[in-house]
Amino acid sequence: MNAACDLANKRCKPCEGGMPPLSQPEADNLMKQLVGWQRFDHLIGKTYHFKDYYQTIAFVNAVAWMAHRENHHPELTVTGNTCHVEYTTHAIHGLSENDFICAAKVDTLFKI
């Protein structure tokens, strides 16, 4: 089992007030476990490509279901055949492990 699978099998934990964002080394280590994701300071993002609009929206609905279940919601930018997904943890104004857990879960949904 690879590291991304380990992340995808974890559950998000509530972020408590005063909890600090991940340090640079912690975030860098978690980024190594994701394929195709990019880090932009306090957020991570990835664009997924699809054959048509129907597949794009099916993916968006699957991400929405997973986000609701984890209570950790991404920013989604949807076009006809792409969906860009971005995660950050607003409660701590930075990245948390939850962002990486959900990113790995989104990758798993894309492979289904």
Res 41: pLDDT: 87
Task: Look at the domain 37-112 and name its fold.
Answer: Gyrase A; domain 2 (3.30.1360)
Annotated domain spans of the chain: 37-112
Residues ≥6 apart with Cβ < 8 Å to 64: none
Residue burial 19-48, b: 16+ Cβ < 10 Å; e: rest: eebbeeeebeebeebbeebebeebbbbbeb
- pTM value is 0.89
User: Residue 32 in contact with residue 3, Cβ under 8 Å?
Assistant: yes
CA distance 56 to 32: 26
Please write the tens of the pLDDT for every residue from 48-72. Answer: 999 999 999 999 999 999 999 999 9
Angle ∠(100,102,94) on CA atoms, nearest 5:
50
